């Protein structure tokens, strides 16, 4: 139960949106055309992510590498300090490829419970539980969670949780939260009070197997879940965001982690590029 | 003692000269030497060019083999309304004007202006832009205007450059034609032929010096300026390191057309050759400059990527002509590296893209007793083992898969090379396969024997017939969509009627028997025979 709840925390799947081909032009000395990395949206590489620099194309599928559910993996969320800032090495190719799709809400069994929702996407890989989001000019809101199959899991927040506030920039920090009451988790009644402490605490470079992403923002999330009976669960997450490419990766601690520089993660996700 | 006397004489002479200059107010003033006396009374305007009307019919150039997997599109356009008819037609025109203004004895100004450049017949009826009038209500053709009823300007200035003959050589500057004027045209091609659609125009400064019967040319080209801003009427390149700079050095022994004819008619051997080496470099790049809206936006440090492009190109050409025998060989190579091929600032490749490309053409021709002439041409263009040919990449196509006709040849992280050499698209080997389906020769080995009959007629009216068979294979079997290196055999028949008063008709018929390289494996479709007919009417200036 705790592991599942932990992985149901802040869930963002953004478009890893490789875009159109380079414009037609003259011969570049016989090189032909190199692969295009221009994203669908037009970023300005300023290290600040505006709302227009994240897109959520319904139906798009992004492939991530993830450690198998139930396993742990060594991570280094602190990274290596370089003259240009921290460098986070996410280049490990271990794990399994997980396709995550930005799904439409219309037609889903839980659609009526989330009015105004924009999309849903898998938030817990092991169970397939979906996170439901609303995209607004000022923030990306997490509205709750639901299972793909009807009547198994339905957790609706009492108020939208601003998982990202636009523009996302270094130094941002805020506390938000909401309650789940009368919810259902795997067919069982469920309630909790969730508190998110979110800060954009670093700006640096993410290394993937064959790509470097400069001006990446690290979003630090501390989630405290108060369950009935006085039980409290905490998690620490680091999410790495880049304009137009969205979430490059994440490191999620095991439940009860208190060390911000934890080295063992319950989940280590990164773009499978 | 003798040395002192010489110095004294020199001093005396200098003093005398000085005295004359100072004291000669009553003499006629000195004039500067004028190479071009009274230039406005001694200029000459010559005009070259042509007016071309071209009509084509393409039958089954999609080979009825179904779509490519990555694009979902056929390999050649099909009738948009559907049906089983696989025939497409095209008709267009172009008026090419190439005036040369010779001023005095040394200065020449050149222009290449194309009017109604490849404008499609019937493409600008007076019912455009869209009104309530249907197409059949058109009463006349309107002049094309960009953004109103056409996508391109009706007048396109493609080249403009100046040339001066100096005591030590010829200095040319401006937007001019090909880097060199020699060679077969498979590597550098000025787009002079009647059927040409491209050309190699560039912004260059070139100095050509004759040395021991050779021409040595040193050349600089600003291939791309990068972002610029307008400042008091002048465009300023805002980042010098984003410029794509090319330098080249060429040495050649090439005679004028008249000199070649004189030499051949006198029974002497004609030998011509050339060697070119060029180097291109770009340090930074602003990918946004070449993307929509890039010409009007402003650029800052975050918009640039470290491109690190360096490439070397070399070209060697040799031709010998003796009596009826003519042999020609040209080999070219392009070697290069792009440190970071990204188009997204802030996102970088961790490995460079490299290129090792080689291409060549060899031909042997012999003129028997009139009217027969035989010619055999062999061509080679190095390939890349990635699927697809790497000529044209569809919008949004990021990689290739087996079965694709085309697509990017570098596919990180497994493939960081682009090794397919591409011939100039204006070097036409055939009428269908390389010309229309693939666009240009690449990743290929072909052999092309040709029989020419003619000319028949008189000095003023004559007609020539050519019959060619072109057999084409790819270098890599992984390149063609059918995963087989045999691309096909094409029969081309061409006739050229020429009226020396300035008119020409070129007619060509092509029949392609496609090979297993075009088989659609997933759909289990064998490619079908394609044919084309092209007629060009040319009114020459």
Residue B292 falls within a domain, yes or no? yes
Q: What is the pLDDT of residues B164-214, one digit of tens each?
A: 999 999 999 999 998 788 899 999 999 999 999 988 899 999 999 999 999
Which residues span the domain enclosing B225? 168-345+353-361
Question: Could you tell me the mean pLDDT of each successive run of 10 residues in chain A, 273 residues long?
Answer: 30 28 28 37 85 87 89 95 94 89 94 95 88 95 95 95 95 96 93 95 93 95 91 93 91 92 94 81
Give phi and psi for B242, each to the nearest 5: -90, 0
* 8 Å CB contact of A209 and B413: yes
Q: Which residue out of A32, A60, A87 would a mutagenesis test of the B interface target, given it has the greatest number of B Cβ atoms within 10 Å?
A: A32
Q: Which residues of A touch B350 (CB under 8 A)?
A: 207, 209-212
pLDDT bucket at B138, cuts 50 / 70 / 90: confident
Q: Which residue out of B344, B390, B398, B440 would a mutagenesis test of the A interface target, given it has the greatest number of A Cβ atoms within 10 Å?
A: B344
- B244 reaches A (C-beta below 8 A): yes
Residue of A nearest to B400 (CA): A35
Residue of B nearest to A37 (CA): B343
- B345 reaches A (C-beta below 8 A): yes
Q: Which residues of B touch A242 (CB under 8 A)?
A: 346-347
Return the number of other C-beta atoms located less than 10 Å from residue B445's C-beta.
18
- B64/chain A closest Cα distance in angstroms: 27
pLDDT over threshold 90, residue B2: no
- A63 reaches B (C-beta below 8 A): no
Residue B42 falls within a domain, yes or no? no
* 8 Å CB contact of B313 and A30: yes
Question: Residue A10 is encoded by which pair of tokens?
Answer: 């802040």
pLDDT score at B292: 82
- B243/chain A closest Cα distance in angstroms: 12
CB nearest to A31's CB, from B311, B397, B412: B311
Q: How many CB pairs under 8 A join A and B?
A: 130
Residue B249 falls within a domain, yes or no? yes
pLDDT bucket at B96, cuts 50 / 70 / 90: very high
- B341 reaches A (C-beta below 8 A): yes
Model pTM score: 0.81
List the beta strands (DSSP E) in chain A.
61-66, 73-74, 80-82, 85-89, 96-101, 119-124, 129-135, 139-146, 154-165, 173-185, 188-207, 211-227, 231-242, 246-253, 264-271
Give phi and psi for B10, each to the nearest 5: -60, -45
- B358 reaches A (C-beta below 8 A): no
Q: What is the pLDDT of residues B289-339, one digit of tens each?
A: 988 888 888 899 989 999 999 999 999 999 999 989 999 999 999 999 999
Q: Which residues of B touch A204 (CB under 8 A)?
A: none
- How far is it between the farthest Cα atoms of chain B? 105
- B392/chain A closest Cα distance in angstroms: 9
Mean pLDDT over B97-119 rounds to 94
Q: What is the pLDDT of residues B350-366, one digit of tens each?
A: 899 999 999 999 999 99
Query: Contact at 8 Å (CB) between B200 and B178?
Result: yes
Residue of B nearest to A214 (CA): B346
* 8 Å CB contact of B410 and A35: yes
- B395 reaches A (C-beta below 8 A): yes
Residue B22 falls within a domain, yes or no? no
Residue of B nearest to A30 (CA): B334
Question: Residue B22 is encoded by which pair of tokens?
Answer: 């100072």
Give phi and psi for B354, each to the nearest 5: -115, 160
* 8 Å CB contact of B336 and A30: yes
Query: Contact at 8 Å (CB) between B141 and B126?
Result: yes
Distance CA A265, CA A59 (A): 30
Query: Contact at 8 Å (CB) between A45 and B352?
Result: no
- A85 reaches B (C-beta below 8 A): no
Question: Residue B27 is encoded by which pair of tokens?
Answer: 């003499």
Q: What is the pLDDT of residues B255-283, one digit of tens each?
A: 888 888 899 889 999 999 999 999 999 99
Query: Contact at 8 Å (CB) between B390 and B442?
Result: yes
- B487/chain A closest Cα distance in angstroms: 22
Residue B110 falls within a domain, yes or no? no
Q: Which residues of A touch B302 (CB under 8 A)?
A: 44-46, 215
Query: Contact at 8 Å (CB) between B401 and B39?
Result: no
Query: Contact at 8 Å (CB) between B58 and B76?
Result: yes
- A84 reaches B (C-beta below 8 A): no
pLDDT score at B33: 57
Q: Which residues of B touch A34 (CB under 8 A)?
A: 338, 341, 343, 353, 408, 410, 418
CB nearest to B347's CB, from A20, A25, A211: A211
Q: Which residue out of A26, A28, A48 would a mutagenesis test of the B interface target, given it has the greatest number of B Cβ atoms within 10 Å?
A: A28
- B303 reaches A (C-beta below 8 A): yes
Q: Which residues of B touch A273 (CB under 8 A)?
A: 413
Give the helix ranges, DSSP H, for chain A. Answer: 2-7
- B388/chain A closest Cα distance in angstroms: 13
Query: Which one, of A165, A244, A51, lies nearest residue B346 by Cα?
Result: A244
CB nearest to A35's CB, from B290, B341, B348: B341
Long-range interactions of B456-460: CB distance < 8 A, separation 24+? B456/B371, B459/B500, B460/B499, B460/B500, B460/B501
From chain A residues 17-36, the ones with a CB under 8 A of any chain B CB are 18-23, 25-36
* 8 Å CB contact of A46 and B302: yes
- In chain A, where the domains are located: 2-271
Q: Which residues of B touch A33 (CB under 8 A)?
A: 390, 393, 408
Q: What is the pLDDT of residues B500-523, one digit of tens each?
A: 999 999 999 999 999 999 999 999
pLDDT score at B28: 62
Query: Contact at 8 Å (CB) between A248 and A241?
Result: yes
**Number of domains chain B contains:** 1
Q: Which residues of B touch A32 (CB under 8 A)?
A: 355, 390, 408-410, 418, 420, 422
* 8 Å CB contact of A214 and B421: no
For the question of an ipTM over 0.90, the answer is no
Mean pLDDT over B404-420 rounds to 89
pLDDT score at B135: 86
Query: Residues near B179 by Cβ (< 8 Å), separated by ≥ 6?
Result: B188, B200, B202, B204, B219, B221, B248, B250, B276, B278
pLDDT over threshold 50, residue B34: yes
Q: What is the pLDDT of residues B475-492, one digit of tens each?
A: 999 999 999 999 999 999
pLDDT score at B19: 40
Query: Contact at 8 Å (CB) between A196 and A168?
Result: no
pLDDT score at B11: 40
DSSP conformation class of B40:
G
Residue B290 falls within a domain, yes or no? yes
* 8 Å CB contact of B343 and A46: no
Residue B199 falls within a domain, yes or no? yes
CB nearest to B338's CB, from A31, A212, A214: A31
**Mean pLDDT (chain B, rounded):** 90
Tell me what percent of the residues of chain B surpass a pLDDT of 90. Answer: 72
Residue B209 falls within a domain, yes or no? yes
pLDDT score at B105: 85
CB nearest to B346's CB, from A27, A28, A43: A43
Query: Contact at 8 Å (CB) between B177 and B199?
Result: yes
From chain B residues 416-455, the ones with a CB under 8 A of any chain A CB are 418, 420-422
Distance CA A163, CA A177 (A): 10
Q: Which residue out of B151, B242, B245, B347 would a mutagenesis test of the A interface target, given it has the greatest number of A Cβ atoms within 10 Å?
A: B347
Mean pLDDT over B429-435 rounds to 98
- A242 reaches B (C-beta below 8 A): yes
Question: Residue B64 is encoded by which pair of tokens?
Answer: 């009825």
């Amino acid at each position: 139960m705790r592991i599942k709840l932990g992985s149901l925390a802040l869930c963002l799947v953004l478009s890893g949106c490789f875009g159109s081909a380079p414009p037609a032009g003259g011969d570049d000395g016989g090189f032909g055309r190199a692969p295009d990395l221009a994203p669908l949206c037009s970023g300005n590489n300023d290290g600040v992510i505006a709302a227009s620099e994240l897109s959520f194309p319904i139906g798009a599928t992004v492939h991530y590498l993830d450690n198998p559910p139930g396993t742990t993996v060594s991570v280094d969320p602190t990274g290596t300090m370089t003259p240009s800032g921290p460098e986070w090495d996410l280049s490990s190719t271990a794990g399994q490829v997980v396709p995550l799709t930005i799904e439409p809400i219309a037609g889903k069994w839980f659609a009526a419970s989330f009015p105004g929702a924009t999309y849903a996407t898998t938030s817990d890989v092991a169970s397939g539980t979906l996170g439901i989001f609303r995209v607004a000019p000022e923030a990306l809101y997490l509205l709750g969670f639901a299972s793909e199959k009807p009547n198994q899991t339905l957790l609706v927040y009492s108020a939208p949780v601003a998982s990202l506030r636009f523009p996302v920039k270094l130094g941002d920090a805020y506390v938000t939260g909401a309650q789940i009451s009368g919810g259902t988790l795997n067919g069982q009644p469920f309630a909790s009070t969730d508190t998110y402490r979110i800060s954009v605490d670093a700006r640096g470079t993410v290394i993937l197997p064959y790509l470097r992403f400069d001006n990446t923002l690290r979003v630090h999330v501390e989630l405290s879940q108060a369950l009935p009976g006085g039980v409290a669960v905490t998690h620490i997450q680091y999410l790495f965001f880049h304009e137009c490419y969205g979430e490059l990766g994440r490191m999620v601690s095991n439940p009860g982690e208190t060390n911000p520089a934890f080295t063992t993660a319950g989940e280590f996700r990164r773009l499978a590029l | 003692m003798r040395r002192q006397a010489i110095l004294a004489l020199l001093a005396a002479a200098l003093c005398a000269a000085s005295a004359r200059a100072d004291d000669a107010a009553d003499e006629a003033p000195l004039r500067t030497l004028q190479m071009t006396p009274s230039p406005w009374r001694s200029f000459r305007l010559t005009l070259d060019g042509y007016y071309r009307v071209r009509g084509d019919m393409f039958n089954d150039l999609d080979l009825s083999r179904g779509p490519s997997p990555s694009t979902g599109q056929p390999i050649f356009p099909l009738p948009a309304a559907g049906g089983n008819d696989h025939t497409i037609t095209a008709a267009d025109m172009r008026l090419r004007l190439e005036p040369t203004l010779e001023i005095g004895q040394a200065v020449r100004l050149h222009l290449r202006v194309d009017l109604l450049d490849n404008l499609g017949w019937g493409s600008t009826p007076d019912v455009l832009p869209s009104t309530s009038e249907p197409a059949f209500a058109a009463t006349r053709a309107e002049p094309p205007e960009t953004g109103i009823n056409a996508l391109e300007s009706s007048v396109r200035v493609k080249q403009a450059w100046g040339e001066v003959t100096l005591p030590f050589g010829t200095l040319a500057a401006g937007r001019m034609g090909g880097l060199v004027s020699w060679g077969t045209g498979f590597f550098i091609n000025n787009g002079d032929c009647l059927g040409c659609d491209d050309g190699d125009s560039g912004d260059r400064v070139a100095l050509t010096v004759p040395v021991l019967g050779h021409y040595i040319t040193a050349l600089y080209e600003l291939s791309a300026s990068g972002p610029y801003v307008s400042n008091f009427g002048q465009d300023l390149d805002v980042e010098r390191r984003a410029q794509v700079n090319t330098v080249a050095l060429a040495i050649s022994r090439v005679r004028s057309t008249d000199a070649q004819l004189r030499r051949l008619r006198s029974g002497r051997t004609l030998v011509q050759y050339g060697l070119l080496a060029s180097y291109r470099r770009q340090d930074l790049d602003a990918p946004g400059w070449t993307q929509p809206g890039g010409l009007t936006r402003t650029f800052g440090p975050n918009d640039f990527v470290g491109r690190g492009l360096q490439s070397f190109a070399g070209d060697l050409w040799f031709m010998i002509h003796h009596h009826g025998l003519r042999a020609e060989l040209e080999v070219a190579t392009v070697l290069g590296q792009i440190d970071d091929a990204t188009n997204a600032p802030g996102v970088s490749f961790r490995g460079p893209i490299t290129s090792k490309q080689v291409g060549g053409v060899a031909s042997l021709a012999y003129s028997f007793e009139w009217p027969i002439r035989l010619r055999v041409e062999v061509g080679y263009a190095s390939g890349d083992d990635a699927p697809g040919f790497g000529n044209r990449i569809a919008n949004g196509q990021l990689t290739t898969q087996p079965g694709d006709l085309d697509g990017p040849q570098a596919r990180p992280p497994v493939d960081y090379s682009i090794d397919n050499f591409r011939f100039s698209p204006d070097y036409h080997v055939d009428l269908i396969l390389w010309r229309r389906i693939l666009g240009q020769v690449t990743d290929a080995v072909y052999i092309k024997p040709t029989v020419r009959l003619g000319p028949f007629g008189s000095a003023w009216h004559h007609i020539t017939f050519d019959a060619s068979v072109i057999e084409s294979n790819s270098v890599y079997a992984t390149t063609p969509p059918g995963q087989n290196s045999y691309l096909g055999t094409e029969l081309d028949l061409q006739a050229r009627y020429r009226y020396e008063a300035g008119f020409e008709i070129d007619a060509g018929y092509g029949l392609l028997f496609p090979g297993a390289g075009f088989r659609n494996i997933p759909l289990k479709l064998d490619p079908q025979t394609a044919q084309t007919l092209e007629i060009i009417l040319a009114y020459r200036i």
